[in-house]
Every structure is written in structure tokens, then in C-alpha cells.
Amino acid sequence: MLDQLFVYHPEPWREQDWARISGLPLEDIWFQANDGTPLFGWFIHAGPRTPVLLWCHGNAGNITHRLGNLAQLFRLGLSVFLFDYRGFGQSQGTPSETGLYQDGLAAYAHLVTARKVSPTRLVVFGRSLGSTVAGHLAAQHEAAGLILESSFPSIEHMARTHYFGLPAHWLIRAKFDLAMSVRRVKIPVLVIHGDRDRVVPIRLGREVYENASAPKDFYPIPGAGHNDVTTVGGRAYFQRIMKFIALVTG
């Protein structure tokens, strides 16, 4: 299926002592999606009253490739639940649009039900393809806020951007219609985008922002592409995220 070729680029798990390598208090979490698929993630606990970031990553690699970013967020005083979709890392199964949506919902259920995290201190974060998972989740469940980074309105928009306007999306089953999801979101939204992103041009991020309801904010990162938003954005980037989280979690 073309979805597996063009949309998902998971990497298998490499067994390492990731807690020692990263210096982070990584708690291994096994949980299940609604269809029974076993999923794996890491939870880092910064304290009983800290905001909790539910992190939906992009379409490539696995959670081990986000350790540097995870460390920065933890140092800022955030608890974070970072998980792998089905077929990524140690998580079982094969990725699909409905599957990834289930995985995001299962991660949310783990935090709210198993860990008793109040939705009032839970912020959902999605990067790139993960933005569609985060938006789908936030449209259905209570949370304090939603952060969308390097996001796009739908797979159709991406296909038209990269295939000279040809209807290449007809060959891909997945829709990942974030524009539709974000219109149903009733919580504050922060949209972040690099202004030199050649994978997802900033105009697509602005379209996501335009579809969102207020309160909302758009934060462009000058000089940033698709995969270097955190490094190019630097301290100001993390300050903006923390300002948003402090505002929505009170």
C-alpha cells in the first residue's frame, strides 16, 4: 500500500540503556490501544503539580530520536509522555491513519485514567504528522491546550504541494484532515512553524491556524526549516511554549 511507502517511516527499536545515555528518569510504559495493539512510551515525571505534555511525534524514526528535545522540556519543569505509534520502535502492529488516532487516544487514556492526570494540566503537543493525531485527540477530549508544530491541513494539501498540483492524494488512502479536526477544537491553540520549511511550507501552517477557533496564536520561527525548529528557535522558542503552557494550565 502506498501509505506505507510515502506516509510512515518508522525505525525499529535499538536496545540500549537509554536512561543512562540521556541522563533522564525515563519510566517505561506499556499500554494498549482500543483494538488491543501493545504500545510503548516513556514518561518523565517532573513533579506532582507540573503541567504534563502529551507528545505526538512525526512520521519517522521512534521515540529514541527525540531524547534531546525531551531533555530540554524536562529541564524546563514539564512532565512529558512521549510514545511510539504502532509499528514504530517497540510498539506493535502496522501504522495506519485510524491506528495512529487510536494510539493517541490510548496515550491520553493512560494519562487521565491510569496516572490520574487532570485534563486541566494536560497539554497536547503534535509535530508534523503528529499534529494530525494531536488535533484529532483534542477535538474529542478535554485538555488545557493544544500545540501544533510544522503542521499541515491534510494529506491532500501535502500531495498537491509536492506533486505540482497533480491529484497524487488519490493514490494514498490516509486523509489526516487536521483542518477538519481543528475546527472542532474548543481549547486554546498555539501553531508554530518555521518560515523556511520546504517539507511543509509555512502557508500550510497558516491555513491550519486560520481553521482553528480563538483563542489561538501563530508563532513563526525565522530561518527554521522542518526539522530544526527547536535548534533555530532556541531559547525564545522554549520560552514561547512555556508561556503558552503557563497561560492555559493556570
Q: Is 128 one of the annotated active-site residues of the chain?
A: yes
Instruction: Residue 146: name the closest of 250, 248, 42 by CA.
Output: 248
Long-range CB contacts for residues 230-235, cutoff 8 Å, separation at least 24: 230/69, 230/72, 232/194, 233/192, 233/194
Tally the C-alpha atoms within 13 A of residue 212's C-alpha that lie toward its C-beta. Answer: 32
* CB of 200 closer than 8 Å to CB of 226: yes
Q: Is 35 one of the annotated active-site residues of the chain?
A: no
Q: Which residues contact 210 (CB under 8 A, 6 or more apart)?
A: none
Catalytic choice (128, 150, 151, 181): 128
Cα 201 to Cα 158: distance, rounded to the nearest angstrom? 9
Cis peptide before 215 (omega within 30 of 0): yes
Q: Is 197 one of the annotated active-site residues of the chain?
A: yes
Residues with a catalytic annotation lie at 128, 197, 226
